[in-house]
């Protein structure tokens, strides 16, 4: 058992008063319930119910799609039913940035049949990991997550319409030590709280954007990585709010500034721990399995852009030219490509997938990346030739979606997601994606007014 995992029988003795039972929604946010510690044993035995609407409504928790009867899972036709969250006790840990609170991840099941709820991103990731296990393979993953931190109080900022943002850094500060020192007390406590919560960080730094920061996670098992990612975002938001600041994981929150990424590092080993991406005699020591995995990831990238880049804002980053992934390309230590091969030892060789932004759902991104790589391995897919220079000088890849509407259409039309997840899941996501686009197109923005009001 991991050293941070708590024994349920010892919670009260450890001073825990509240246990948060949590599971990711389709946007990667944690939903669930708070349980008094003296009632957690009943939740262990029976689970705790939540409404299935949490996997059906949009970012603003709008009920219009549910009212319209557009989902088989949750709609007026079936009474908007519950699902039961079954706790995963191997994830029970302190939420150390909160006083006397523990948190435990859970997976939803059908209240009648007890079958896992197929739409759950955490369930989907566990199912993909089972496919790897059937092949005797163990994938490893790590995420690098950037965010912007502002010196504005959270509630007031929303009331002001997110005007007058005050970034925590004012000049480009990528890798600079001096600019980060002012905020070291904040980040030091954040790192300590995350470590006490079982979220191991590798490194942190100030970034190039005004108020932009990055923290990287310890490489490991993909489900644990996704859980750490979700906890990290929760801890950053909570800690920033407590300090009178506001954090955002938008893919590109500011004009004229770079986007925030979620680079994903990936490799595969066998059950004995042998690194299968390494070949002593091959060019750049890349095995055929690694090349096939890259081939699968790039082949299916257009189909999964709706998960890698799930918001309207995602494409402000993708289309910026700010080394945010670029078509179906790969190269050796080349940040202008979508897949960047790094590492010069068997234990270090991996590829970095650069398409996802900080707004991505880590569970769905890992599902898509792992499934695409596995399919490439299964079929011995052929990777394209590596790019040795600037990939941005190549013609644009017309197959790659340039906005959320194109991404939605690519996801719906692609055979691989439907074959893997079934029509119900694909169509469920289609409804949400199309609604996000329609909501965007129906809104008059400041850009519209500034560009057209007195000019047309």
**What does the pLDDT look like over 53-84, one tens digit per residue?**
999 999 999 889 999 999 999 988 899 999 99
Do 160 and 204 lie in one domain? The reply is yes
Which region among 151-155, 282-286, 319-323, 447-451 has the lowest average model confidence (pLDDT)?
Answer: 319-323
Residue 370 belongs to some domain of the structure? yes
Alpha-carbon distance of 263 to 246, in angstroms, equals: 22
Residue, of 364 and 182, whose pLDDT is higher = 364
| Domain stops at, among 88, 117, 146 | 117
Q: 178 and 84, same structural domain?
A: no
10 contact partners, CB below 8 Å, separation of at least 6: none
Asked if residue 179 and residue 147 are part of one domain, the reply reads: yes
Average pLDDT, the chain: 96
- Distance in angstroms (rounded) separating the CA atoms of residues 252 and 256: 9
pLDDT of residue 290: 98
Q: 423-442 and 404-413 are packed helices; what angle lies between their axes, rounded to 10 degrees?
A: 160
Residue 450 confidence (pLDDT) = 95
pLDDT band at 427; cut points 50, 70, 90 = very high
Name the pairing type of β-strands 246-248 and 18-24.
Answer: unpaired
Q: Give the residue, 408 or 202, on which the prediction is more confident.
A: 408
Please count the other Cβ atoms lying within 10 Å of the Cβ belonging to residue 426. 18
Does 401 lie in the same domain as 323?
yes
In 3D, which of 420, 357, 371 has the Cα closest to residue 27?
357
Alpha helices in 47-137 (DSSP H): 64-67, 121-134
What is the SS3 assignment for 77? helix
Question: And the tokens for 454?
Answer: 């007195």
Domain boundary among 65, 88, 117: 117
Residue 179 pLDDT: 83
Domain boundary among 91, 117, 143: 117
Q: What is the CATH number of the domain that holds 86?
A: 3.10.20.70
Q: Is residue 3 part of a domain?
A: no
Q: Is the pLDDT of residue 1 over 80?
A: no
Q: What is the distance between the alpha carbons of residues 73 and 25, in angstroms, rounded to a whole number?
A: 14
Question: For position 178, what pLDDT does the model report?
Answer: 85
Helix locations, 313-445, DSSP H: 314-318, 362-379, 404-413, 415-421, 423-442
Cβ atoms of 228 and 145 closer than 8 Å: no
Kindly state whether residues 110 and 152 are assigned to the same domain. Answer: no
The verdict on 206 and 342 lying in the same domain is yes
Quick check: is 2 in a domain?
no
Query: What confidence tens digit (pLDDT) does each residue in 402-413 have?
Result: 999 999 999 999
Range of the domain at 89: 8-117
The answer to the question of residue 264 being in a domain is: yes
Q: Quick check: 283 pLDDT over 90?
A: no
Mean pLDDT of 31-53: 98
Confidence of residue 381 (pLDDT cuts 50, 70, 90): very high
In DSSP terms, 319 is beta-bridged to: none
Whole-angstrom distance, CA of residue 440 vs CA of residue 225: 32
- Same-domain status, 64 and 31: yes
Average pLDDT over residues 354-372: 98
**239, two tokens:** 């800690």
Report residue 373's pLDDT band, with 50, 70 and 90 as the boundaries.
very high
Does residue 346 lie within any of the structural domains?
yes
The answer as to whether 32 is a domain residue is: yes
Same domain, yes or no, for 25 and 150?
Answer: no
Comparing C-alpha atoms, which of 309, 323, 427, 307 is closest to residue 372? 307
Q: Do the domain assignments include residue 152?
A: yes
User: Are 76 and 215 part of one and the same domain?
Assistant: no
Region 117-126 average pLDDT: 98
CB of 93 closer than 8 Å to CB of 335: no
Percent of the chain exceeding pLDDT 90 equals 90
What distance lies between CA 64 and its chain's CA centroid?
26
108 and 179 both lie in a single domain: no
Residue 87 lies in a domain: yes
Residue 42's Cβ-count burial label (10 Å; 0-12, 13-18, 19+) is: exposed
Number of domains in the chain: 2
CATH number of the domain that 206 lies in? 3.30.590.10
Same domain, 38 and 140: no
Mean pLDDT of 255-276: 96
For residue 43, the number of C-alpha atoms closer than 13 Å in the C-beta half-sphere is 30
Does the pTM of the predicted model rise above 0.85? yes
Rounded CA-CA distance 366/213 in Å is: 22
User: What confidence tens digit (pLDDT) does each residue in 180-192 have?
Assistant: 899 999 999 999 9
Whether residue 418 sits in one domain with residue 291: yes
Instruction: Over range 187-203, report the average pLDDT.
Output: 94
Among 206, 208, 330, which Cα is nearest to 259's?
A: 208
């Amino acid at each position: 058992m991991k050293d941070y995992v708590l024994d349920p029988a010892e919670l009260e003795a450890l001073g825990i008063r509240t246990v948060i039972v949590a599971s990711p929604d389709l946007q990667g946010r944690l939903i669930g319930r708070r349980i008094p510690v003296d009632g957690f044993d009943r939740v262990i035995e029976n689970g705790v119910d939540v409404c299935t609407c949490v996997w059906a409504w949009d970012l603003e928790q709008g009920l219009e799609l549910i009212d319209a009867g557009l989902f088989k899972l949750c709609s007026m036709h079936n009474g908007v039913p519950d699902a039961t969250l079954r706790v995963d006790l191997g994830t029970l840990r302190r939420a150390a940035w909160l006083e006397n609170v523990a948190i435990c991840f859970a997976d939803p099941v059908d209240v009648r049949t007890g079958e896992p709820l197929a739409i759950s991103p955490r369930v989907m990731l566990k199912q993909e990991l089972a496919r790897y296990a059937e092949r005797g393979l163990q994938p490893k993953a790590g995420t690098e997550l950037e965010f912007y931190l502002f010196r504005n109080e959270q509630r007031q900022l929303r009331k002001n319409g997110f005007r007058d943002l005050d970034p925590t850094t004012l000049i480009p500060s990528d890798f600079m030590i001096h600019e980060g020192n002012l905020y070291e007390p904040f980040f030091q406590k954040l790192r300590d709280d995350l470590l006490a919560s079982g979220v191991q960080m590798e490194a942190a730094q100030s970034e190039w954007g005004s108020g932009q920061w990055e923290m990287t996670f310890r490489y490991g098992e993909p489900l644990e990585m996704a859980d750490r990612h979700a906890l990290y975002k929760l801890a950053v938001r909570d800690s920033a709010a407590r300090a009178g600041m506001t954090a955002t994981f938008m893919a590109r929150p500011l004009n004229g500034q770079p986007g925030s990424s979620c680079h994903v590092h990936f490799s595969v080993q066998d059950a004995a721990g042998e690194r299968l991406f390494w070949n002593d005699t091959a060019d750049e020591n890349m095995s055929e399995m690694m090349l096939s995995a890259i081939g699968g990831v790039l082949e299916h990238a257009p189909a999964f852009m709706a998960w890698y880049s799930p918001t309207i804002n995602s494409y402000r980053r993708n289309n910026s030219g700010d080394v945010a992934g670029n078509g179906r390309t790969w190269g050796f230590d080349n940040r202008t490509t979508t897949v960047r091969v790094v590492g010069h030892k068997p234990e270090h060789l991996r590829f970095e997938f650069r398409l996802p932004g900080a707004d991505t759902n880590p569970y769905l991104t890992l599902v898509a990346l792992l499934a695409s790589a596995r399919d490439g391995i299964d079929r011995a897919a052929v990777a394209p030739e590596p790019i040795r220079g600037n990939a941005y000088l190549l013609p644009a890849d017309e197959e790659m979606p340039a906005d959320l509407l194109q991404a939605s259409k690519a996801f719906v039309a692609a055979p691989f997601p439907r074959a893997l997840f079934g029509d119900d899941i694909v169509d469920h996501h289609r409804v949400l994606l199309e609604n996000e686009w329609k909501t965007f197109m129906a809104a008059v923005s400041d850009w519209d007014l500034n560009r057209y009001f007195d000019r047309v």
